[in-house]
Structures are given as structure tokens and as C-alpha cells.
Structure 1
């Protein structure tokens, strides 16, 4: 157990000494460290690691196998990490695609707004036409009712005028008839008055004659 722990620590020290920053790799340069142009780049000093393992009593073939396994594991890890990263060109391509999608979305939104505005405008025009049509029908009905009322009013006015004319004619006839009767009565009164005057004059003359005769009789005696 002490030998294995010592070997593990030695491997870790060798890995740390093979990198200037220990395990803190600069991930911005990982894509350049793993297989550039199809060639494998080792991130550790394999020879120093083998020598260190051999110095700890590990056989040479075991030390080389351990070093090879560690190197392959590190290379595979770095390759997986590099594959998960995105290059600047890909970022630019993604940015351009997003900008294109955004522009397309903005165009679609603008087109949708224009279509909706056109639809609302057509609906508003249709509503205004319906309102104008209803207004015309209402005006026609009002004019028809007004014309009917005006006709009825004119007929009633003519009937009243005819009745007033008939009443005026009857009044004139009655007035003329009454005037005639008044004139006839006045003439009758005048005639009666003349008769009374004549009767009174005759009576006075008779009385005067009788008086004169009596005076003569009494004076003759």
C-alpha cells in the first residue's frame, strides 16, 4: 500500500512538473495542443515520468505501460474538451445565423403587423360602410315618417280650414238672417209707432172737438 501511494504521488508530481501550471491548463489553447494537423502532442514528459517510476522500483515495462495509459487518458480528455469548445469561426457563423434568424423574425413580425393592420383597416372600412348604410336607412325612415306626418298635418289643416270656412259661411248666413229679422222688426215697430201716433192724434182731436162743442153749448146757455 505504501508503494502504491508513493507511486501515485510520484505520478502526480511528474504530471505537475511536466506542465508549467500544474493541472490549471489554459483551455483557450487546448484545441491547439491536441492533435494539430493529425499529430499527437503529449502534454507530459513521458521519458521523465518513466524514469521516475523506474526509480521507485517499478519495472520498466510497467512504467512505460502506466505512462502510456496516463498519456492516452489525458489526450482523450483534452480531445473531448477541445471537441466541446467552439472556435471563433464557428462562433462567427453562429452569430451570423442568429442575426439572420433575428432579421427573418423581424421581417415576419413586420409582415404580420402589416397584415394585421391591413386586416384591421379593412374591418374598419367595412364597419364604416355598414354605419353609413344604417345611417342612410335611418334617414330614409325618418324622412318617410316625417313626410307621412307632414301629409297628415296638411290634410288635417285642410279639414280644419274647410270646417272653419263652413262655420264662417253659416255664421255669415245667420248674421244676415238676424239682420233681416232685426230690420223687419224695426220696420214693424216703426209702423206700430206711427199707428199709435195716429191714434193718439185722432183721440186728441176727438177730445178737443168734444171739448169745444161742450164749451159752445155751455156758452150758449
Structure 2
């Protein structure tokens, strides 16, 4: 990343040339010459990057009462601070290639996540379908067992009803036979009673006839006796 160069952040050689070419006193030019010499000394150690006009700030600090060495030290410190800040910011920044790489990685991760979710959804759907089919099978088996139980219960009830009907018919038949036997016995008893009554009646008639005959004979004898 290149440093931002403005009208105030040009190379020191141009600044020194502008300062020297302008009509100024020797006292004004000397700080610039010293700063240019010092900057060239630092440039021999590392590539110089200018973020502000150092010579101008050295001159300003000297105008505010600092010695040339103090002004140069302050500017040096500011330059180091700004450089470190910019390098730190550059360290936190990413290049376009890294951004595209991260974007591609995110797209791949999103596609993988989408595929995983779709696979999970399909798996859940298959599991749910299998569970639903299993439940339907259980319900069908339960319905079949219920139908069999109902059929068995109905058959048992029909059998019990038929047995009860048979028992009732047998009991009715027995009662009918008993009633017929009772009727027969009653008829026999009535017949015997009639025979007994006829015999008693005949005996009564015989007794009455005998009594009447005896009474008549006595009357006749009595009449004959009075007649003589």
C-alpha cells in the first residue's frame, strides 16, 4: 500500500529545494538542511514513507520555542507513531484476494451448510415417513385385532344366546310335559272322584230304597194290624 502524498507530503528534497529557492534568511534554511540530512540518514536504513511535511512541522516547533534537536525529535516521534499506526491498520486490513478467498470460503461453507440442511431435511422426512408408515401398520393391526375381538365376542354372545334359548326351550318342554302329567293326574283324580260319587250315590239310593221299603212294609203291617 502506497502512502498518501498531498501537497504537504512531498519528498523532502522538493521541500528543501522550494525552501532554498525562496528568498529567506540563512537561519530559516538551516533547519531544513539539518532535517534533510537527518532524513537521508534514516533513508539509508529503511525506505522512507512520508505521511506529512516533516520540515514544515520542525519549523513550526522551532517557532514555538523548541530547539532544532527537540523539534526534530518530536517530528521523528510523530512520524514513528503515525507509521506504526498505519502499519497496524494495514495489518488489520485484508487484500482483495484475501477478501475474495474469504467470500469463496463463506460460499463453500454456506453451500455445505445448505447441503447438510437439505440432507438432514430429507433424512428427517424419510424417518418421519417410515414412522408414519409404522404407525399406520400398528393402527391397521390394532383394527384387525379389534375386529377379531368383536367377532369373537359376537360369536360368544351368539353361542350363549343359543345355549340360553336351548335351555329355555328344554325347560319349557319339561314344564309342558309336567303340565300334561298334572292334567292327566287331575283328570284321573276327577274320574276316580266321579266313580266314587256314583258309587256313593248308588249306595245312598240303595239305602234310601231299603229304608223306604222297610218303612212301607212297616206301614203296611201297621195298616193290616189296624184293619183286623
Structure 1, 120-129 or 49-58: larger mean CA deviation? 49-58
Which consecutive aligned stretches of 4+ in structure 1 deviate over 6 angstroms post-superposition?
Answer: 49-54
The answer to whether the aligner puts 1:195 opposite 2:171 as a matched pair is no
The answer to whether the aligner puts 1:118 opposite 2:132 as a matched pair is no
| Conservation of the 8 A alpha-carbon contact between 2:16 and 2:36 | yes
Given candidates 51, 61, 65, the residue that maps to 2:41 is 65
Please, what is the CA RMSD of the aligned residues?
3.8
* Residues 97-136 of structure 1: pairs in structure 2 closer than 5 A: 98-99=106-107, 101-136=109-144
**5+ residue gaps, structure 2:** 4-8, 20-27, 52-82
Give CA-to-partner distance per residue, 1:83-110, whole Å, 9 cap, x none.
6534567656654653564355334323
Counterpart for residue 80 of structure 2: none
Whole-angstrom distance in 2 between the partners of 1:192 and 1:59: 181
Deviation at 1:177, TM superposition (A): 2.0
Deviation at 1:129, TM superposition (A): 0.5
Structure 1 counterpart SS, 2:48: helix
| Conservation of the 8 A alpha-carbon contact between 2:42 and 2:48 | no
Deviation at 1:210, TM superposition (A): 1.4
The answer to whether the aligner puts 1:213 opposite 2:179 as a matched pair is no
Given candidates 177, 181, 195, the residue that maps to 2:185 is 177
Given candidates 40, 46, 51, the residue that maps to 2:12 is 46
| Conservation of the 8 A alpha-carbon contact between 1:44 and 1:71 | no
Deviation at 1:204, TM superposition (A): 1.3
TM-score by length of 2: 0.60
Whole-angstrom distance in 2 between the partners of 1:89 and 1:142: 77
Structure 2 counterpart SS, 1:65: helix
Instruction: Count the aligned residue pairs.
Output: 182
Deviation at 1:189, TM superposition (A): 0.7
Deviation at 1:71, TM superposition (A): 5.1
| Conservation of the 8 A alpha-carbon contact between 1:50 and 1:60 | yes
The answer to whether the aligner puts 1:157 opposite 2:157 as a matched pair is no
Structure 2 counterpart SS, 1:72: coil
The answer to whether the aligner puts 1:166 opposite 2:177 as a matched pair is no
Whole-angstrom distance in 2 between the partners of 1:142 and 1:153: 16
TM-score by length of 1: 0.62
Structure 2 counterpart SS, 1:178: helix
| Conservation of the 8 A alpha-carbon contact between 1:46 and 1:67 | no
Deviation at 1:162, TM superposition (A): 1.8
Deviation at 1:123, TM superposition (A): 0.3
Whole-angstrom distance in 2 between the partners of 1:66 and 1:55: 19
Cα 1:50–1:204 change in 2 (3 A) is same
